[in-house]
């Protein structure tokens, strides 16, 4: 049984570009959450998707957007990249109504 | 502002020691508290989840306690091993879904 998978593992972009990160949830899970973890910091909640809709959102600008597909996989899009967007982006999946989240290995984004 | 603080930021101990990691939070009205482990450059692994109504949870050599009145949780690791080396994160849900994480305690257990 595959756990949460994320792609790509690493990515380098330049300021102003756009990036798309992908996440496949653990089998049977229907809810996906995204987090940003800067170096030396704890993860910060970006948003959560359930039934293809954004259900909760943290304190992130509209440059951060997402999507959930019918198979429950999800994408995180970031437009107009800033140097400060450099971080590890974590995806976590869960089953609606349950509290335990399973995290993927993350995508390391570097913005130059 | 609801904040989560973890002390110490880093800890280095010899193998076999019992150790305590601390997590403090600013608002006693919490929904639950969770401890995670993170290996370098990797995702998070859930260790223990304590509901607001609970005082402690145990899993193997790990024991987590919760004292809402003082705004504190501790993670106790018994008989530490080199394989326990990782960053330990505390996350608190202050009554909403969105968890607030501390910065973590980086633990090194040397042989």
The string of pLDDT tens digits covering residues A31-53 is 999 999 999 899 999 999 999 99
Average pLDDT over residues A65-76: 97
Q: Which one is predicted more confidently, B28 or B39?
A: B39
Shortest distance, CA B110 to any CA of chain A (angstroms) = 22
DSSP for A57-93 reads E-S--TTEEEEE-TTS-EEEEE-S--GGG-EEEEEEE
Among A99, A100, A110, most B C-beta atoms within 10 A, so best to mutate, is: A99
Q: Does residue A16 surpass a pLDDT of 80?
A: yes
Q: Do A90 and B98 touch (CB under 8 A)?
A: no
- Exposed/middle/buried for A33, CB within 10 Å: 0-12, 13-18, 19+? buried
Cα distances from B104 to residues B6, B13, B88, B91, in angstroms, run 6, 16, 5, 9
What count of other Cβ atoms lies within 10 Å of the Cβ of residue B14? 10
* Chain B touched by A101 (CB under 8 Å): yes
Interval B77-110: pLDDT, tens: 999 999 999 999 999 998 777 899 999 999 999 9
pLDDT score of A1: 62
pLDDT score of A98: 81
pLDDT score of B41: 79
* Chain A touched by B97 (CB under 8 Å): yes
Percentage with pLDDT > 70 across chain A: 99
Interval B38-80: pLDDT, tens: 998 788 999 999 999 999 999 999 999 999 999 999 999 999 9
Categorize the per-residue pLDDT at A100 as very low, low, confident or very high, splitting at 50, 70 and 90.
Answer: confident
Average pLDDT over residues A7-16: 97
* Chain A touched by B91 (CB under 8 Å): yes
Nearest to A99 among B32, B96, B103 (CB): B32
Average pLDDT over residues A13-42: 96
Distance separating alpha carbons of residues B34 and A70, to the nearest angstrom: 30
Residue B3: list chain A partners with CB under 8 A.
Answer: none
Categorize the per-residue pLDDT at A82 as very low, low, confident or very high, splitting at 50, 70 and 90.
Answer: very high
Residue B41: list chain A partners with CB under 8 A.
Answer: 88, 106, 108
* Chain B touched by A25 (CB under 8 Å): no
Residue A106 backbone class (left: φ over 0; alpha: ψ -120 to 50; beta: rest): left
């Amino acid at each position: 049984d595959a756990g949460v998978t994320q792609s790509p593992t690493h990515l380098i972009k330049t300021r102003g570009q756009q990036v798309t990160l992908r996440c496949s949830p653990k089998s049977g899970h229907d809810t996906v959450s995204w987090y940003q973890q800067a170096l030396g910091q704890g993860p910060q909640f970006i948003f959560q998707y359930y039934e293809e809709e954004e259900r909760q959102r943290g304190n992130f600008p509209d440059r951060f957007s997402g999507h959930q597909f019918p198979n429950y996989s999800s994408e995180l899009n970031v437009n107009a990249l800033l140097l400060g967007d450099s971080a590890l982006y974590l995806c976590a999946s869960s089953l609606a109504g349950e509290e335990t989240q399973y995290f993927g290995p993350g995508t390391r984004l570097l913005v130059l | 502002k609801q904040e989560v603080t973890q002390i110490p930021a880093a800890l280095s101990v010899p193998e076999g020691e019992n150790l305590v990691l601390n997590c403090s939070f600013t608002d006693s009205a919490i929904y639950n508290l969770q401890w995670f482990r993170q290996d370098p450059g990797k995702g998070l692994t859930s260790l223990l989840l304590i509901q607001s109504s609970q005082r402690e949870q145990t899993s193997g050599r790990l024991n987590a306690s919760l004292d809402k009145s003082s705004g504190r949780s501790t993670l106790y690791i018994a008989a530490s091993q080199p394989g326990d080396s990782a960053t330990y994160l505390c996350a608190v849900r202050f009554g909403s879904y969105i968890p607030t994480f501390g910065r973590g305690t980086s633990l090194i257990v040397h042989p």
